[in-house]
Amino acid sequence: MAFVRVCGLTELEDGTPKRVELDGIPVSVVRTKGEVFAINDICSHANVSLSEGEVEDCSIECWLHGSSFDLRTGKPNGLPATRPVPVYPVQIQGDDVLVSVTQES
């Protein structure tokens, strides 16, 4: 599993998603309640960017139709989305946030 630095921990505002692209894959990196998560940035329902949505606790909401996804599992928390989105492993090394898109979890 290859981890790549995506940003510094201090660059992440709590509750504000940051969109990055790794190997052509759009990823939303989210810091919330002291944890950092990486989730595929494309909503499985409407094909729009999740990083433009809002974060509440451990969920990110799609701004277009209100689908919400668990940041830990990628599973939708309710309709209209019915399919999960991929989540990716995150490592913190000092101030560096590293993400691997080579193996989904």
**pLDDT tens column, 22-64:** 999 999 999 999 999 999 999 999 889 999 999 998 999 998 8
C-alpha to C-alpha distance for 47 and 89, rounded to whole angstroms:
22
Token pair listed for 102:
């080579």
**pLDDT tens column, 6-27:** 999 999 999 999 999 999 999 9
Please determine, for residue 70, whether its predicted confidence score (pLDDT) is greater than 90. yes
pLDDT of residue 47: 87
Q: Is the dihedral of CA 33, 41, 101, 11 positive or negative?
A: negative
Token pair listed for 25:
């894959």
